[in-house]
Structure formats: C-alpha cells, structure tokens
Structure 1
Amino acid sequence: MEMRRGENADGETKDYKVVGPIELKFKNRPTLCEAMVLAGDNEILLGAITMEGMDVLLHPLRLELIVNPDHPYYTQMSLK
C-alpha cells in the first residue's frame, strides 16, 4: 500500500512497507486492518483500534486476550 516510518524499541527509525487489508480473526471475532512488515521474528503488536474492531479485551490477571464477556456471541462497537 505504502511506506511508513516506524520507531523501534531501541530508538532506531526506519521506513517499513504497509500491507492490507488483512483479515484478523480471534475466536468468533474477525476484523480488517493494515500491517507493517518487519524483518525477522518480531512479536505481533495489536493496536487499540484493531482490538476494538474485534471487541476483545486483555485479561490483566491471566495476561491473555479474551472475547468481551459483555458480548460473548457477537461483536458490539461503541458509537459514543
């Protein structure tokens, strides 16, 4: 799609390819997003907008991604 500049954890900035749309699925929750292509075996980082699109949450005690328990059978977006 395009090139975007990104800053790595060590402070280095580089230009990276952006690809998409990509469909991500977690359990019964699909969403579309874009992704920056990084070399090597980097960990995936999901942004807040992507997580909101799937209506998922981070469980703080179990340290895992979960389906929003308020909406277990469907995705619900907040339009406020």
Structure 2
Amino acid sequence: EQIIAEESGICGVNELLTMHFGPQEILLNVSIDFSDKLTSGEVQDRVSALEHSIKDRYPDIKRVFIEAQRTHESTGAQQ
C-alpha cells in the first residue's frame, strides 16, 4: 500500500489481495481508484510504474494485476 500511496494520481486503494503459490512466488491483485484527471495513457504509465516498483521492492511477487476501479466514496454510493 505504501508503494501505491507514493504514486501520484491515485485517490486510494480499494482492495489488495495476495495469493501465495510457494515461498518465493506470490501473485498480487490490487484495485486502485485513479484520479479522474488522468488520461488513459497516464493511467497505463502509473500501472507500469507500480508493477516495476512492487516487483523491485518485493522480488517474491512474480505477477501483479492492477484493476482501475472507483471507490464507493468517488461514486457517491452508500455501503
């Protein structure tokens, strides 16, 4: 979460899930609320930068899946 928080253009993390396939093989799934001010190209750049930063800091994470999804607060929906 700290790596994601350090990236500009991100409003928040909705969900962060890991699946461990072995002691040195982890899959990370994360749902992120990106700023509406970002273009689709900028979101792609943020996703790529996050993947590299996460894998560099945590080499056991072999696969990263990032989903762009608004938080309930961003849509005005009630929980």
Tell me the TM-score normalized by structure 2.
0.28
Q: Give the structure with the higher percent helix.
A: 2
Q: Give the structure with the higher percent strand.
A: 1
> 1 or 2 for the larger relative contact order (CA 8 Å, sep ≥6)?
2
